[in-house]
Amino acid sequence: MISLIVHAVLGIATAIWIIRANPTISARVGQGPHKEPLLSKLEIVYLLTGILTIPICWYFNYQFVLEYKTGADNPIWGPGSWAHFIQLGYDNPAASSASVDYTVISLILMPVFTIVDGLRRGIRKPWLFFGFILFASSATAFAFYFAMAERQHRHQKAASGNLSHV
């Protein structure tokens, strides 16, 4: 269970680090009489999607640890460990196909995309989203990145005087 708690703490810490590294993006869009809603509809969709995946993933991760952990196991190797979790993802051809897809998306495409796209958008420390994948979930990290990119887009539109809502 300690590994689940450590992942949760590191996930929360990474999210806070991302927000603090990007205070202008995290700030409310618009000023004075031109203040926009705190969150756009699109930001709400992204954030709700990411947030709602957390308890679902947590439930299944908790069930995995309960089923496989034997007591004094190492959280990195052995029964109920991270390595065991990965190994079970390749337990049969269907799971293997999904695991390869998930691994490529999470460990190659998402980090490359968020770093390149994030730097283009002016998002500071976009590599933190890769850490977020490791500590939260891929869906949560993607959703959080998309919400931040949308918020940055709204700031840029407000700065140019184009205040149309999504």
Q: Could you tell me if residue 148 is inside a domain?
A: yes
| pLDDT reported for residue 1 | 66
Whether residue 165 lies inside any domain: the answer is: no
Q: What is the separation, in whole angstroms, between the first and last Cα of the chain?
A: 42
Q: What angle do CA 144, 146, 152 make, to 5 degrees?
A: 105
Q: How many domains, in total, are found in the chain?
A: 1
pLDDT at 166: 47
| Integer angstrom CA distances of residue 13 from 7, 17, 118 | 10, 6, 20
Task: Say if 152 falls within a structural domain.
Answer: yes
Domain that holds residue 29: 2-159
pLDDT in tens, 103-140: 999 999 999 999 999 999 999 999 999 888 888 889 99
Q: What is the pLDDT of residue 37?
A: 81
- Let me know if residue 107 belongs to a domain: yes
26-40, 67-81, 124-138: the lowest-pLDDT one: 67-81
Query: What is the model's pTM?
Result: 0.83
Q: Where are the beta strands (DSSP E) in 76-139?
A: none
User: Is 164 a member of any domain?
Assistant: no
User: Is residue 73 in some structural domain?
Assistant: yes
Q: Are 46 and 140 in contact (CB under 8 A)?
A: no
166 in any annotated domain: no
